[in-house]
């Protein structure tokens, strides 16, 4: 199933905004349900809060503010509500790419543009992305596969800065007995969130190197997630800035999900599951926080 | 399966924060997958944007602001990025209960408290809900059932202010040939969003009356959604403020989802499906925007 | 004192970011204090709130959210605070140009750029204005002059869409006995906020036409304010979009202040006063809410 | 002029929400202008930005987001605007007490309530402060006095944790030859912002101790500012949490301003000046960022 193409621009038409999610078929979705064995429901999102979760400074910590509460003194009394009746509500303020999130295909651009050649500078201050906003890729489901690299390599977590290549991914899949199929959603566990939890983590993170793109091409996967902050290794492989994002997101139109909480699936040894993702369909947004749901 | 209890406080223990979601079992989740016939993936969320979607004034319209873009002049050049490489990102600012959303069990309180008797005034300005925040109920999956009332009643939409009772729900289910089972997630289509789309809608909405609580009790459903703004009829049934929210959310711990986009399921005549919901797990929040994913 | 120049680009140097505020001297500030007669302190800002004040939809209503309060249950108890001690704090979310505000000189651009020829597209998503942000013009003081047009013309307010020209401004000043001097801060009352308060106002507003630019040039005023939404008449004079903003803000570097509350000064017949303005010095911002302080 | 009262509750009536600002008279405002010698205009606000300024974590860093810009592709073309014409605008998101700010009299409460005995828990999530919000005290002007303690004590800055008492304030005023009068606005320079600028500062700050309240009482000052974060010394004097805030803000109704930029006044040896303050009149807010304007 080797693909010699180096990008998917035009592969699904000049207007395509779905990228590799086109590889998921309705039949594939039905088939994906057959892998479930326990019916256990997993949330793959970290809590959204200000502390104890990985935050990039320029994005700021996510904030919840109270909008209404019992401090409002029977706010509905004027509408005839019984004494004591009211509601608690919140305002949420956070970056679209904060904590557990999905990149829309408009997220990264190069001098050639975003995925499928849409213009580099069409993302506007007022309106955001006119093409490839999060609505076009935010809802999907299919067969999920966990590649648990730390378990395979016999460590608690991969080392910060450790480069993951195709051979390691293949070896892990084989050792697990997990076949990776066209249209799969592959989740790579590096153990980074466990290392983060120790309070010892810094700038460097383990992640995919450029060689790992071959794995994506060979298996024609539909989407890729990881428990680290950027899918790819930091510092960037060979020092090329965003090298893997450019190869996968921009050139191939591959949907990426970051900071996934994969520890429970790993603890259960659940390497195949049904996965559904419903990102917030924010018009014009280049990403969204997500809480993917896996069924074991 | 008649239940004579009038509330579920204590039913699953004094510490329970899941309410009727306890009625969903792992086996039920597996069984729910067997109802899928097409594998078609449905997003049940309206787009999140400032116009063309129903907004309550006090919550304000949801906003997307740009955080980074190509206007930032090669922002990563200092890090060695190739010319032209960068990223588009957003800031999102919206009410937890805006547009398509889920109520956490801490959302509504009476003089007796919130669900399961947690104190009425424990929701704090700085921290939000110490019990029953959206994290405790935000992730679930199971058998989804659509009760398409307008189709059953031969109208485009129910009239604003029209009260839906248990008999109507039973009649609709029977006419559709849809059995409603314990642990089901029931979605009620009133057609209100179609009426809203005409631009003619006002304050009044069709929705459940107090009598419809019997339907929930009889079938022991796990969660309830609708395409209207508050599940319940507006003006409130018998003029009792939030009467249905109090009976269902507060007294029974029933998870509610509002402003669901049900038109596609209805158009396809898809009345049974697998449904998964992954709300944003915001620590302390009394609700969350959601994009439930249905598989036909 | 006629000036035949049509713009001030380069007048105070190629690097100038202050524009006509350069016309205010320290001596002028001292002299401005000599006009005060009563010592009465006037706030020229409307309240910042969601309702009852003029809001442009795309800017959204200003919002105040609670950050801390007594609902937080002795939040400082852990720090040894006495029982009951705590603080109320807020989060503020609003457009830089909401309600009573000042335009920074980077606010409007034409195909030639912003004031003094700084590039049209240098305002970036992440950083805002690298030149002429609100910090460069946000703090000033001097002699303030009120031109109370409705009083002069014997009406409650000028008609929506009514064009104000130089002759009207001159006539008003003369009738009031108010000399307009170089470096003055001129505040033009149209009565529009009073009309707004009736609830009858619509899109159209009275305001300056292009001819009024001559008044600014002739008197070499330092800054200009008004009680309407855009200084200039709406619909725009001769149908030229932002014609007066372009002539004054972009070409002359004249600081503009909008939605000023001038009714108290007018009621007191206070046409000369000391005026000081301290905008929020937000790095990169193209404007700021302001609460100018006048001393009668 | 010794005052034996220990609080000002009721002093200006049971409904008073202005506190010691009542000590400023119109005559005093006029007289205050006579102290000006140079006409130089000083901004006393630090820049509002994310870095390089003191931020309390729970308040978060102030943020500016772009709302419109030239990236929006001739947004006004549809309205007939000439090609290239448009506007830059921002959204501002920050705590009411961030960086240079004023405390409203509703800011701090004890078990007895806020200033003048308004209830402790009346500040509500949705509406904020029904009494003593920032509108009631946000606009004032008068004679400003700088007490430059580091200069008087011959140091660059007072030591972190150093307690300032009445004797030190009196000695400084006397050495400067600065008479402190009833109704004055006293600004105390501790040098803390200069120490902060070294990057060496931590939790501790120099500031007023409880004994300094005597200075406020003896001189019947109208408002008090400082360059530190909380007026009072940190750690709190005698370990009493918010001891000075309680004595001054709550018990006396004294308006407090924090993180004032006093270095320019100090460098010029300007110890007497006219000061005007126009806080943002946010309905319900317990504070506001401010940019006080001093005239030397």
Is B88 touching D (CB cutoff 8 A)?
Answer: no
Is D51 touching C (CB cutoff 8 A)?
Answer: no
Judging by DSSP bridges, how do beta strands B287-289 and C108-109 pair with one another?
A: unpaired
Is C125 touching B (CB cutoff 8 A)?
Answer: yes
Instruction: With residue A94 as reference, give the H or E element that holds it.
Output: strand A89-95
Q: Which two tokens stand for residue C50?
A: 């969601």
- Cβ–Cβ below 8 Å for D66 and C124: yes
Q: How confident is the model over A99-146, as pLDDT tens digits?
A: 999 999 999 999 999 999 999 999 999 999 999 999 999 999 999 999
Is A49 touching D (CB cutoff 8 A)?
Answer: no
Could you give the CA distance from residue A27 to residue A40 in angstroms, rounded to a whole number? 23
Question: Who among C48, C91, C135 is closest to D283 (CB)?
Answer: C48
Is A66 touching D (CB cutoff 8 A)?
Answer: yes
Q: Which two tokens stand for residue A200?
A: 């010892």
DSSP letters, D59-108, are G---EEEEEE-GGG-STTGGGTPPTT-EE-EEEEEEETTSSSEEE-TTSE
pLDDT over threshold 80, residue A63:
yes
Is D91 touching B (CB cutoff 8 A)?
Answer: yes
Distances C157 to C196, C227, C269 between C-alpha atoms, Å: 10, 11, 16
Q: What ipTM does the predicted assembly reach?
A: 0.96
Chain D environment of A63 (Cβ under 8 Å)? 60
Average pLDDT of every residue of chain C? 96
* pLDDT band per the 50, 70, 90 thresholds, residue B5: low
- Cβ–Cβ below 8 Å for B65 and D69: no
- Cβ–Cβ below 8 Å for D281 and C291: yes
**Is there a contact between C195 and C162 (Cβ–Cβ < 8 Å)?**
no
| Range D86-104 burial, b when 16+ CB lie within 10 A, else e | bbbbbbbbbbbbbbbbbbb
Looking at chain C from residue 222 to 241, which residues have their Cβ under 8 Å from any Cβ of chain D? 239-241
Chain D environment of A106 (Cβ under 8 Å)? none
Average pLDDT of every residue of chain D? 96
Residue B87: Cβ within 10 Å count: 24
Distance from CA of A18 to the nearest CA of D (A): 24
* pLDDT band per the 50, 70, 90 thresholds, residue C5: low
Task: Name every residue whose Cβ is closer than 8 Å to that of residue C200 and which is 6 or more positions away in sequence.
Answer: none
**Is there a contact between A155 and A191 (Cβ–Cβ < 8 Å)?**
yes
Question: Who among D79, D123, D282 is closest to C69 (CB)?
Answer: D123
Is C125 touching A (CB cutoff 8 A)?
Answer: yes
Distance from CA of C59 to the nearest CA of B (A): 10
**Is there a contact between A247 and A254 (Cβ–Cβ < 8 Å)?**
no
Question: Who among D68, D69, D124 is closest to A71 (CB)?
Answer: D124
Percent of chain B with pLDDT over 90: 95
At residue C48, the 3 state secondary structure works out as strand
Give one word for B34, left, alpha or beta, with left for phi > 0 and alpha for psi -120 to 50.
Answer: alpha
Is D277 touching C (CB cutoff 8 A)?
Answer: yes
Is A290 touching B (CB cutoff 8 A)?
Answer: yes
Chain D environment of B63 (Cβ under 8 Å)? 91
> Best residue in C58, C90, C91, C122 to probe A by mutation, most A CBs within 10 Å?
C91
Is D4 touching B (CB cutoff 8 A)?
Answer: no
pLDDT over threshold 60, residue A223:
yes
**Is there a contact between A269 and A154 (Cβ–Cβ < 8 Å)?**
no
- Cβ–Cβ below 8 Å for D30 and C38: yes
Question: Who among D71, D91, D125 is closest to B65 (CB)?
Answer: D91
Mean of the pLDDT values across residues D26-35? 98
Instruction: Look at residues D255, D228, D98 and name the one whose alpha carbon lies nearest to residue D162.
Output: D228
Residue A22: Cβ within 10 Å count: 15
**pLDDT at site B129:** 98
* pLDDT band per the 50, 70, 90 thresholds, residue C74: confident
- Cβ–Cβ below 8 Å for C66 and A70: no
Instruction: With residue C207 as reference, give the H or E element that holds it.
Output: strand C207-208
- Tokens 């800055």 appear where? D157
Mean of the pLDDT values across residues B264-291? 98
Instruction: With residue D172 as reference, give the H or E element that holds it.
Output: helix D166-176
Q: How confident is the model over C20-37, as pLDDT tens digits?
A: 999 999 999 999 999 999
pLDDT over threshold 50, residue C2:
no
> Best residue in A90, A272, A293 to probe B by mutation, most B CBs within 10 Å?
A90
Instruction: Look at residues B244, B251, B222 and name the one whose alpha carbon lies nearest to residue B117.
Output: B251
pLDDT over threshold 70, residue A9:
yes
Could you give the CA distance from residue C248 to residue D158 in angstroms, rounded to a whole number? 47
Residues, chain B = 296
Question: By CA distance, what is C128's nearest residue in B?
Answer: B72
Interface partners of chain D (CB pairs < 8 Å, 3 or more) are A, B, C
Could you give the CA distance from residue D129 to residue D17 in angstroms, rounded to a whole number? 11
Average pLDDT of every residue of chain B? 96
Q: How confident is the model over C264-279, as pLDDT tens digits?
A: 999 999 999 999 999 9
**Is there a contact between A247 and A213 (Cβ–Cβ < 8 Å)?**
yes
Residue D171: Cβ within 10 Å count: 15
Could you give the CA distance from residue D230 to residue D206 in angstroms, rounded to a whole number? 10
Is D93 touching A (CB cutoff 8 A)?
Answer: yes
Q: What angle do CA B166, B168, B170 make, to 5 degrees?
A: 70
Could you give the CA distance from residue C178 to residue C97 in angstroms, rounded to a whole number? 30
pLDDT over threshold 80, residue A5:
no
- Tokens 């772009």 appear where? D66
Looking at chain B from residue 10 to 29, which residues have their Cβ under 8 Å from any Cβ of chain D? none
- Cβ–Cβ below 8 Å for B45 and A108: no
Chain D environment of C93 (Cβ under 8 Å)? 91-93
Question: Who among D65, D71, D91 is closest to B71 (CB)?
Answer: D71
Q: How confident is the model over D119-146, as pLDDT tens digits?
A: 999 999 999 999 999 999 999 999 999 9
pTM: 0.96
Could you give the CA distance from residue B212 to residue B149 in angstroms, rounded to a whole number? 13
Q: How confident is the model over C169-203, as pLDDT tens digits?
A: 999 999 999 999 999 999 999 999 999 999 999 99
SS in 3 state form for chain B? CCCCCCCCCCCCCCCCCCHHHHHCCHHHHHHHHCCCCCCCEEECECCECCCCCCCCHHHCCCEEEEEECHHHCCCCHHHCCCCCCEECEEEEEEECCCCCEEECCCCEEECCECHHHCCCCCCECCCECCCCCHHHCCEEEEEEEEEEHHHHHCCCCCCCCCEECHHHHHHHHHHHCCCCCCCCEEEEECCHHHHHHCCCCCCCECEECHHHHHHHHHHCCCEEEECCCCCECECCHHHCCCHHHHHHHHHCCCEEEECECCHHHHHCCCCEEEEEEECCCECCCCEEECCCEEEC
Distance from CA of B55 to the nearest CA of C (A): 13
DSSP C233: -
Judging by DSSP bridges, how do beta strands A272-278 and A293-295 pair with one another?
A: antiparallel
Is A67 touching C (CB cutoff 8 A)?
Answer: yes
Q: Which two tokens stand for residue D285?
A: 């807010």
Q: How confident is the model over B35-81, as pLDDT tens digits?
A: 999 999 999 999 999 999 999 999 999 999 999 999 998 888 888 89
**Is there a contact between D253 and D68 (Cβ–Cβ < 8 Å)?**
no
Q: What angle do CA A110, A111, A116 make, to 5 degrees?
A: 65
Instruction: Look at residues D121, D131, A76, C66 and name the one whose alpha carbon lies nearest to residue B121.
Output: D121
* pLDDT band per the 50, 70, 90 thresholds, residue A6: confident
* pLDDT band per the 50, 70, 90 thresholds, residue D65: very high
Question: Who among D68, D72, D125 is closest to A67 (CB)?
Answer: D125
Chain D environment of A122 (Cβ under 8 Å)? 73
Interface partners of chain C (CB pairs < 8 Å, 3 or more) are A, B, D
Could you give the CA distance from residue C59 to residue D89 in angstroms, rounded to a whole number? 9
- Cβ–Cβ below 8 Å for B241 and A123: no
Looking at chain A from residue 140 to 169, which residues have their Cβ under 8 Å from any Cβ of chain B? 140-141
Question: Who among C72, C93, C125 is closest to B67 (CB)?
Answer: C125
**Is there a contact between C120 and C110 (Cβ–Cβ < 8 Å)?**
yes
Q: Which two tokens stand for residue C37?
A: 């007669």
pLDDT over threshold 80, residue C4:
no
- Tokens 């408290």 appear where? B113
- Collect contacts of B118-124 with beta carbons under 8 A, ≥24 apart: B120/A70, B120/A84, B121/A69, B121/A70, B121/A71, B121/C71, B122/C73, B123/A66, B123/A69, B123/A70, B123/A88, B123/B286, B123/C71, B124/A66, B124/A69, B124/C69, B124/C71, B124/C72, B124/C73
Distance from CA of D14 to the nearest CA of C (A): 21
């Amino acid at each position: 199933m080797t693909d010699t193409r180096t990008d998917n621009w035009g592969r699904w038409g000049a207007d395509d905004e779905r990228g590799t999610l086109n590889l998921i078929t309705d039949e594939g979705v039905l088939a994906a349900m057959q892998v479930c064995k326990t019916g256990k429901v997993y949330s793959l999102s970290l809590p959204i809060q200000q502390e104890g979760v990985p935050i990039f400074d320029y994005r700021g910590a996510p904030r919840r503010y109270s909008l209404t509460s019992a401090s409002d003194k029977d706010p509905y009394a004027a509408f005839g509500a019984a004494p004591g009746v009211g509601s608690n509500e919140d305002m949420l303020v956070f970056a679209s790419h904060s904590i557990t999130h999905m990149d829309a295909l408009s997220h990264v651009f190069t001098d050639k543009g975003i995925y499928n050649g849409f213009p580099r500078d069409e993302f506007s201050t007022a309106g955001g992305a006119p093409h490839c906003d999060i609505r076009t890729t935010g809802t999907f489901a299919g067969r999920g596969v966990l590649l648990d690299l730390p378990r395979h390599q016999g460590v608690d977590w991969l080392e910060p800065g450790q480069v993951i290549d195709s051979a390691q991914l293949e070896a892990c899949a084989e050792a697990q007995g997990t076949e990776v199929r066209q249209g799969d959603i592959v989740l790579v566990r590096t153990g980074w969130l466990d290392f983060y939890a120790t309070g010892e983590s810094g700038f460097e993170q383990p992640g995919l190197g450029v060689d790992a793109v071959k794995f994506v091409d060979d298996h024609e996967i539909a989407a890729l997630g990881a428990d680290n902050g950027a899918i790819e290794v930091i510092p960037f492989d060979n020092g090329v800035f965003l090298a893997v994002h450019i190869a996968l997101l921009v050139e191939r139109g591959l949907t990426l999900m970051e900071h996934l909480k994969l520890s429970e699936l790993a603890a259960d040894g659940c390497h195949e599951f049904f996965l559904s993702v419903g990102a917030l369909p924010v018009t014009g947004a280049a990403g969204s926080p997500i809480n993917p749901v896996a069924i074991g």
